[in-house]
Amino acid sequence: MKKEELVTTAATTPVKSKTPADLIWEEIKDKQVELFGLPQQFVDMHCEPVPVEPSKLYLTARASAFLPSLEVALGAKYSVERVDKYIVVAKR
């Protein structure tokens, strides 16, 4: 590919802006949670984000015991609630 083609391709490729849900996930995925009495447990080890609505982060958890641990880990900065089969996280 010629240099001119690379510049044109890069300029015309649409840039996907991050949604509030994406930003919340990036902020919380590496937070440590106290779960099952095991050391070194992190949010991304126990749940996955699901694209439902871009203004809030929807998660599917692998274990129901994860919800209280997530609430404690996120503290007062986020609201955490169970809605149907999802855990919904939003900034307060």
28-71: pLDDT as tens digits: 999 999 988 889 999 999 999 999 999 999 999 999 889 999 99
Instruction: Report yes or no on 30 lying in a domain.
Output: yes
Extract the tokens encoding 90: 């939003």
The rounded distance, in Å, linking the Cα atoms of 71 and 76 is: 9
- Domain extent at residue 82: 19-91
Instruction: Report yes or no on 11 lying in a domain.
Output: no
Extract the tokens encoding 32: 């440590």
* Phi (first) and psi of residue 47, to 5 degrees: -155, 170
User: Burial level of 10, CB count in 10 A (0-12/13-18/19+)?
Assistant: exposed
Instruction: Report yes or no on 36 lying in a domain.
Output: yes
SS3 content of the chain, % helix, strand, coil (to 5): 35, 25, 35
State what percent of residues in the chain have pLDDT above 70: 84
The pLDDT of residue 1 is 54
Domain count across the chain: 1
2 pLDDT band (50/70/90 cuts)?
Answer: low
Instruction: Report yes or no on 14 lying in a domain.
Output: no
Instruction: Report yes or no on 10 lying in a domain.
Output: no
The pLDDT of residue 88 is 97
Instruction: Report yes or no on 67 lying in a domain.
Output: yes
Instruction: Report yes or no on 53 lying in a domain.
Output: yes
Report the CATH number at residue 32: 3.30.1360.40
Rounded to 5°, angle at Cα 78 from 51 and 76: 170
20 pLDDT band (50/70/90 cuts)?
Answer: very high
Instruction: Report yes or no on 59 lying in a domain.
Output: yes
- pTM of the entire structure? 0.79
